[in-house]
């Protein structure tokens, strides 16, 4: 999942771009858009969804709860309603720990080569 790949200065992302970020089908993005009220895409004249960077961050929270932690959609909605900030903090901790692990593995590889 490449949610860190948000392009600076970009105001909107297409549904295809969001689906690629999370490596899921566009149909899942559409479904989550309908199921979670924290996702509020704009629509152009053709009716295409245009997601803001905030929407993408909210998708990241939903993805974390549903795909990584195994919550049901109802459970994820309840968790977001009860304490969204706690969930966001947990995601940031997990991301930081993953980055540290990656760095340590790279250092280990370099030391093994010496």
Q: What is the CATH number of the domain that holds 27?
A: 1.10.1660.10
Name the pLDDT band for 94 (thresholds 50, 70, 90): confident
DSSP classification of residue 14: E
| Residue 25 to residue 108: CA distance in whole angstroms | 36
Q: Is residue 31 part of a domain?
A: yes
Alpha-helical (H) ranges within the chain are 15-22, 26-35, 53-63, 73-113
Q: Which residues pair with 51 in a beta bridge?
A: 13
State mean pLDDT over 77-100: 84
pLDDT for res 72 = 95
Rounded to a whole number of angstroms, the distance between the first and last alpha carbons of the chain is 32
Question: The whole model's pTM is what?
Answer: 0.74
Give the model confidence (pLDDT) of 19-72 as tens digits. 999 999 999 999 999 999 899 999 999 999 999 999 999 999 999 899 988 999
The more confident residue out of 97 and 5 is 97
Name the pLDDT band for 107 (thresholds 50, 70, 90): very high
Q: Is residue 105 part of a domain?
A: no
Q: Give the residue numbers spanning the domain of 27.
A: 3-82
């Amino acid at each position: 999942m490449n949610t860190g790949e948000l392009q600076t200065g970009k105001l909107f992302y297409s549904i295809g771009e969001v689906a690629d970020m999370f490596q899921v089908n566009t149909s899942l993005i559409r479904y989550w858009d309908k199921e979670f009220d924290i996702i509020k895409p704009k629509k152009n004249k053709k009716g295409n969804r245009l997601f803001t960077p905030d929407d993408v961050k909210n998708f990241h929270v939903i993805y974390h709860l549903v795909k990584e932690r195994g919550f049901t959609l109802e459970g994820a909605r309840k968790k977001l309603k009860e304490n969204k900030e706690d969930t966001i903090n947990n995601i940031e901790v997990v991301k930081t720990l993953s980055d540290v692990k990656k760095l340590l593995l790279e250092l280990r590889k370099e030391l093994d080569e010496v």
